[in-house]
Structure 1
Amino acid sequence: MQKLIDLIKNKDLTGGEAWSAFSAPEKSKRFERKNVPARTFRFSVEEVSTYKALRKDLQVRLFDDCVGSCAYCRRPVGHYGWAWHIEHVIPKSKYPSMAFELSNLTVGCVHCNQWKGSRVDKKVTNKSLPIINPAMPGFIYSEHLSFVQISTESLCFAKYSTHSDPGIETYDLLSFKELERSYAINGMHAPTAALHERLTRVMSASLTTSKGQELVTLLGELKSAIYRLP
């Protein structure tokens, strides 16, 4: 890990590029930036193997810490829930030195990861979020938000209630209203649920690449358009 940390310190890699080298390790990683010559970095077989093992262990630890739920919306994730990724609470794009700090990592579903990346991360100043910060010491989710879900064989209903200013911002900026609507539509219309699942899986795969955010944003807007239909 020290190699990636040193590459960040020396500004050879951005936080996102270093995280891509860790989360999708290969013996050769090529990174391209606008107006900057492309650079290729080499990693040994041992380094690639170590990154894969560490990432797997990290996923298990974070999943257990969050009890298999997204830290923001509290929906279940994993094999029997929504797709998820390791989430940087304080964005690695603005604070690359925090890219590998364990205290800055949590579980984020694809939905919350997408909207946080496009609507929240750019607003972060002085390492302070406008939404809830699940990594903050002493954080209690119920002080900010409540999540209720009721399901039957033919109907699924979900509702969020806000209890604080960060809770309100989380509901708005992470589009929880869309989540509420998606539960109802998916429960009543199987083809829409299947399309939603396919879009989510493509978005999940794109989040592992350093250049995937543009595609994730595009697919997120498409998914939102589906749930805004009357």
Structure 2
Amino acid sequence: MKSLCVDGDEENHLQKLIDLIRSKDMDGGEAWSAFSAPAASKTFKRGEADSRTFDFSPVERATYKNLRQRVQNHLFNKCAGSCAYCRRPVGHYGWAWHIEHVLPKSKHSSLTFSLDNLTVGCVHCNQWKGARIDRYLVGKILPIINPSLPGFIYSAHLTYVQISTDSLSFAKYSHCSPEGAKTYKELSFEMLERSYAINGMHPPLASLHEKIERAIGVGLSAVEGQGLAELLFELKKSIYKLN
């Protein structure tokens, strides 16, 4: 990520978070919180009686805010505005998305600020990967596709076809590798296929579906919103069962 810093001061501000990880004063999630949601002070609890507070200067906070925007722009352009896992369009005219850690920062804190370990993940893939893959990952080999690997070719694992008309929307994924098959299953691509049908065939449900999708994105952006995001995902699955 240092390659996106504009000067030595910004590099030093980023290095502060990296050093806090190396010294184990912060874990990857805490350091990422300080980076992605800058504040004058950040307090992290390590237990009932153990909490640590870290202070950040105005220039450090400005660095984190500006650098995060540069990282978002870099990843968005690198991924051509699409989720690295499902290839759906993201951004202002697409689905909500997050900066995705391919190897989870909870297991690999040293890679928290490695640009090579970051990609674009839509809220759907981000949610399911965190719940079904990241939580149980051992080592550095993902059971699903790894878009950060050198020479990675999406079509070697999955193909994605979408057809849309005025009254019909259809999407289908096909897998052609064990990693592709695992991605389809664990990231619930069948739900994505159903979502396209809903959006194309039932306008009221499509509107509700869009609102739920946006609300999930908001919920995932804050720790206190994780429970809400889980609830909304269950609601979304219920909508799919109606069709």
Into which bin does the TM-score normalised by the smaller protein fall? over 0.9
Distance 1:191 1:30, change over 3 A: farther
Instruction: Report 1:49-88 matches (<5 A).
Output: 49-88=62-101
Unpaired runs of 5+ residues, structure 1, are none
How far apart, CA to CA, are the structure 1 residues paired with 2:229 and 2:87? Answer: 21
Residue 134 of structure 2 corresponds to which residue in structure 1?
121
> Does the 8 Å CA contact 1:118/1:217 hold for their aligned counterparts?
no
Partner residue in 1 for 2:181: 168
* CA deviation profile, 1:162-201 (whole Å, cap 9, x unmatched): 0000000000000000000010012112222222222222
Equivalent residue number for residue 207 of structure 1:
220
**Rounded Cα–Cα distance in structure 2 between residues aligned with 1:37 and 1:194:** 45
Residues 98-134 of structure 1 show CA distances to partners (whole Å, capped at 9, x for unaligned) of 1111100000000000000001112322111010000
- Of residues 7, 28, 31, the one that matches 1:15 is 28
Partner of 1:179: 192
- Report the equivalent of 2:39: 26
CA–CA separation in structure 1 for the residues paired with 2:163 and 2:73 = 28
Q: Structure 2: state its 5+ residue gaps.
A: 1-13
Asked whether the equivalents of residues 17 and 210 of structure 1 are also in contact (C-alpha less than 8 Å), the reply is no
Deviation >3 Å, runs of 4+ = 32-36, 210-215
* TM-score scaled by length of structure 1: 0.94
Counting matched residue pairs gives 230
1:155 to 161, 168, 191: 168
Aligned match for 1:92, one of 76, 93, 105? 105
> What letter corresponds to residue 78 of structure 2 in structure 1?
D
Measured on the aligned residues, the alpha-carbon RMSD in Å equals: 1.5
Aligned with 1:137: secondary structure?
Answer: coil
Q: Deviations over 1:37-95 (max 9, x none)?
A: 33332111001100011000011110000000000000001111101110000000111
Structure 1 residue identity aligned to 2:109:
P
> Alignment identity in percent?
64
Cα contact 1:24–1:208 (8 A) shared by 2: no
Distance 1:25 1:222, change over 3 A: same
Structure with the larger RCO, 1 or 2 (CA within 8 Å, 6+ apart): 1
**2:53 aligned residue:** 40
Whole-angstrom CA distance in 2 between matches of 1:36 and 1:86: 32
TM-fit CA distance, 1:23: 0.9
Distance in 1 (CA, whole Å) between partners of 2:225 and 2:103 is 19
